[in-house]
Amino acid sequence: MVAALNDTLLDPSRLPAVVADVQELIDAEVSDKTGASGLAVKGGYGAVKKVGPSIVPDAVEGLLPGFVSRLEPFWQDFGAAGGAGFGDFLSARSEQVADALLGVTDEKIEGTSKSAIKKVYSTMRPSAKKNVIEALPRLGALVEKHAS
């Protein structure tokens, strides 16, 4: 049995490095986007970062427990099944994993009273699943790096 992600990824001694790596993952994924939709993602992400340099790391830290909780069943299944890598494992279940992870942000947005945030999220949400699926190989590698 593998260690619970909650015990590894959210351990106070590891958390700053995990948050930094998740932010780097997001930066890399945004940077890789192409075409008109890529320009929109890059523009929106750049605007958010200009509003406040701590917005992204604060959001990552705030959402991380929910993401870790949603990844836990996949991590335990991966540990039981073994395999080449967690990124490959997640990619093979991409629809299910993306839905689980997006459930965290969907719930967070549903609970906010800030209509401007809800409006921006609603415009970005339709393409979010595709973007999450594309990030799964990097996410799997990040989890393996910090959970080992």
Domain spans of the chain? Answer: 5-147
Which has the minimum average pLDDT: 18-22, 71-75, 98-102, 120-124?
120-124
Q: Mean pLDDT over all residues of the chain?
A: 91
Asked if pLDDT for residue 39 goes beyond 90, the answer is no
Q: How sure is the predictor about 36, in pLDDT bands with cuts at 50, 70 and 90?
A: confident
Which of 32, 30, 22, 33 lies closest to 66, judged by CA? 22
- The pLDDT value given to residue 47: 82
Average pLDDT over residues 114-134: 86
Average pLDDT over residues 122-145: 92
Question: Which 8-state DSSP code applies to residue 112?
Answer: -
- The pLDDT value given to residue 17: 96
* Distance in angstroms between the alpha carbons of the first and the last residue of the chain: 12
